[in-house]
Amino acid sequence: MGLTPGSIAPERIEQDFVLNHLQNAIIHAGAVSRHFWPTKGKGAAARKTQARGALLRRQCEIKDDSPLADRRLRNAIEHFDERLDAYLANGIVGIILPHYVGQSIEQSGIPGHIFRAFYTDSLVFEIIGERYEIPPLIDELQRLEGALEAKNRGG
Protein backbone atom coordinates (compact mmCIF):
# COMPACT_ATOMS: atom_id res chain seq x y z
CA MET A 1 0.00 0.00 0.00
CA GLY A 2 1.50 3.32 -1.04
CA LEU A 3 1.48 6.60 0.78
CA THR A 4 -0.94 9.33 -0.24
CA PRO A 5 0.55 12.66 -1.32
CA GLY A 6 1.69 14.61 1.71
CA SER A 7 1.55 11.65 4.10
CA ILE A 8 4.44 10.54 6.27
CA ALA A 9 5.82 7.02 6.38
CA PRO A 10 4.80 5.41 9.72
CA GLU A 11 8.39 4.80 10.78
CA ARG A 12 9.09 8.54 10.48
CA ILE A 13 6.22 9.69 12.71
CA GLU A 14 7.33 10.73 16.17
CA GLN A 15 5.41 8.79 18.77
CA ASP A 16 5.29 11.69 21.23
CA PHE A 17 3.79 13.88 18.48
CA VAL A 18 0.91 11.41 17.99
CA LEU A 19 0.38 10.83 21.71
CA ASN A 20 0.51 14.53 22.59
CA HIS A 21 -2.11 15.41 19.97
CA LEU A 22 -4.35 12.52 20.97
CA GLN A 23 -4.02 13.52 24.61
CA ASN A 24 -4.86 17.12 23.71
CA ALA A 25 -8.05 15.98 21.94
CA ILE A 26 -9.03 13.93 25.00
CA ILE A 27 -8.50 16.92 27.32
CA HIS A 28 -10.68 19.07 25.04
CA ALA A 29 -13.38 16.38 25.06
CA GLY A 30 -13.24 16.60 28.86
CA ALA A 31 -13.78 20.35 28.63
CA VAL A 32 -16.83 19.80 26.40
CA SER A 33 -18.10 17.24 28.91
CA ARG A 34 -18.12 19.81 31.71
CA HIS A 35 -20.79 21.81 29.86
CA PHE A 36 -23.13 18.83 29.91
CA TRP A 37 -22.14 17.42 33.31
CA PRO A 38 -20.98 20.37 35.42
CA THR A 39 -19.04 19.64 38.57
CA LYS A 40 -21.27 19.02 41.52
CA GLY A 41 -21.38 21.61 44.23
CA LYS A 42 -23.75 22.83 46.90
CA GLY A 43 -26.40 25.48 47.09
CA ALA A 44 -28.39 27.48 44.58
CA ALA A 45 -25.46 28.03 42.19
CA ALA A 46 -24.84 24.28 41.97
CA ARG A 47 -28.52 23.60 41.30
CA LYS A 48 -28.44 26.19 38.53
CA THR A 49 -25.39 24.65 36.82
CA GLN A 50 -26.85 21.15 37.14
CA ALA A 51 -30.11 22.37 35.58
CA ARG A 52 -28.12 23.97 32.74
CA GLY A 53 -26.28 20.70 32.13
CA ALA A 54 -29.51 18.72 32.07
CA LEU A 55 -31.08 21.21 29.64
CA LEU A 56 -28.07 21.07 27.32
CA ARG A 57 -28.09 17.26 27.38
CA ARG A 58 -31.77 17.21 26.45
CA GLN A 59 -31.35 19.81 23.70
CA CYS A 60 -28.37 17.94 22.21
CA GLU A 61 -29.90 14.50 22.78
CA ILE A 62 -26.96 13.33 24.86
CA LYS A 63 -27.70 10.17 26.79
CA ASP A 64 -26.49 9.42 30.30
CA ASP A 65 -24.26 6.64 28.97
CA SER A 66 -22.53 8.98 26.50
CA PRO A 67 -18.75 8.51 26.26
CA LEU A 68 -18.53 12.20 27.18
CA ALA A 69 -19.97 11.40 30.61
CA ASP A 70 -17.07 9.09 31.44
CA ARG A 71 -14.22 11.22 32.75
CA ARG A 72 -11.91 8.38 33.75
CA LEU A 73 -9.65 8.87 30.71
CA ARG A 74 -9.46 12.63 31.15
CA ASN A 75 -8.73 12.14 34.85
CA ALA A 76 -6.01 9.60 34.05
CA ILE A 77 -4.33 12.21 31.88
CA GLU A 78 -4.93 15.17 34.21
CA HIS A 79 -3.62 13.26 37.23
CA PHE A 80 -0.88 11.32 35.44
CA ASP A 81 1.79 12.40 37.93
CA GLU A 82 -0.18 11.13 40.93
CA ARG A 83 -1.02 7.86 39.21
CA LEU A 84 2.57 7.39 38.13
CA ASP A 85 3.79 7.88 41.71
CA ALA A 86 1.36 5.22 42.94
CA TYR A 87 2.29 2.87 40.08
CA LEU A 88 6.02 3.20 40.70
CA ALA A 89 5.62 2.80 44.47
CA ASN A 90 4.84 -0.88 43.91
CA GLY A 91 8.22 -1.41 42.27
CA ILE A 92 8.42 -2.50 38.66
CA VAL A 93 10.61 -4.93 36.77
CA GLY A 94 10.61 -5.92 33.13
CA ILE A 95 10.30 -3.91 29.96
CA ILE A 96 9.49 -0.22 30.37
CA LEU A 97 8.14 1.81 27.45
CA PRO A 98 7.59 5.50 28.23
CA HIS A 99 5.62 5.84 24.97
CA TYR A 100 4.49 3.64 22.11
CA VAL A 101 2.45 4.02 18.93
CA GLY A 102 1.82 0.99 16.74
CA GLN A 103 0.15 -2.39 16.57
CA SER A 104 -0.96 -4.03 19.82
CA ILE A 105 1.89 -5.70 21.67
CA GLU A 106 1.70 -9.40 22.41
CA GLN A 107 2.60 -10.44 25.97
CA SER A 108 5.85 -12.38 25.99
CA GLY A 109 5.88 -13.52 29.60
CA ILE A 110 8.20 -10.67 30.58
CA PRO A 111 6.33 -7.99 32.52
CA GLY A 112 5.75 -4.87 30.46
CA HIS A 113 5.04 -1.36 31.67
CA ILE A 114 3.75 1.20 29.18
CA PHE A 115 3.18 4.72 30.40
CA ARG A 116 1.41 6.06 27.26
CA ALA A 117 0.44 4.15 24.14
CA PHE A 118 -1.88 4.24 21.18
CA TYR A 119 -2.58 0.95 19.44
CA THR A 120 -3.27 1.65 15.79
CA ASP A 121 -4.94 -1.69 15.09
CA SER A 122 -7.55 -1.42 17.86
CA LEU A 123 -7.62 2.39 18.27
CA VAL A 124 -7.07 1.99 22.01
CA PHE A 125 -5.22 4.54 24.14
CA GLU A 126 -3.36 3.18 27.15
CA ILE A 127 -2.09 5.18 30.08
CA ILE A 128 -0.29 3.48 32.97
CA GLY A 129 -1.93 0.12 32.39
CA GLU A 130 -5.48 1.41 31.80
CA ARG A 131 -6.93 1.07 28.32
CA TYR A 132 -9.61 3.22 26.71
CA GLU A 133 -11.35 2.85 23.35
CA ILE A 134 -11.10 6.08 21.38
CA PRO A 135 -13.70 5.55 18.58
CA PRO A 136 -16.80 5.88 20.82
CA LEU A 137 -15.53 9.24 22.11
CA ILE A 138 -14.74 10.51 18.60
CA ASP A 139 -18.11 9.25 17.30
CA GLU A 140 -19.96 11.09 20.07
CA LEU A 141 -18.04 14.31 19.44
CA GLN A 142 -18.83 14.09 15.72
CA ARG A 143 -22.50 13.38 16.46
CA LEU A 144 -22.59 16.35 18.84
CA GLU A 145 -20.95 18.60 16.25
CA GLY A 146 -23.61 17.63 13.72
CA ALA A 147 -26.41 18.21 16.23
CA LEU A 148 -25.06 21.64 17.15
CA GLU A 149 -24.64 22.63 13.48
CA ALA A 150 -28.23 21.54 12.77
CA LYS A 151 -29.50 23.58 15.73
CA ASN A 152 -27.49 26.56 14.55
CA ARG A 153 -29.01 26.31 11.06
CA GLY A 154 -32.47 25.88 12.54
CA GLY A 155 -32.16 28.88 14.82
pLDDT in tens, 51-69: 999 999 999 999 999 999 9
Q: pLDDT band at residue 10, thresholds of 50, 70 and 90?
A: low
Half-sphere exposure of 109 (CA within 13 A, CB side): 0
What tens digit of pLDDT does each residue of 36-45 get?
998 887 888 8
Half-sphere exposure of 68 (CA within 13 A, CB side): 25
pLDDT digits (tens, 9 = 90+) for 68-88: 998 888 888 888 889 888 888
- Separation in Å, CA 41 to CA 50, 54, 122: 9, 15, 38
Residue 36: how many CB atoms within 10 A of its CB? Answer: 19
Element holding 96 (H helix, E strand):
strand 95-102
What residues contact 112, with CB distance under 8 A and at least 6 apart?
Answer: 94, 95, 96, 97, 105
19-24 contact pairs (CB < 8 A, 24+):
19/99, 19/101, 19/116, 19/117, 19/118, 22/118, 22/125, 22/134, 23/77, 23/116
Answer whether 23's CB lies under 8 Å from 122's CB: no
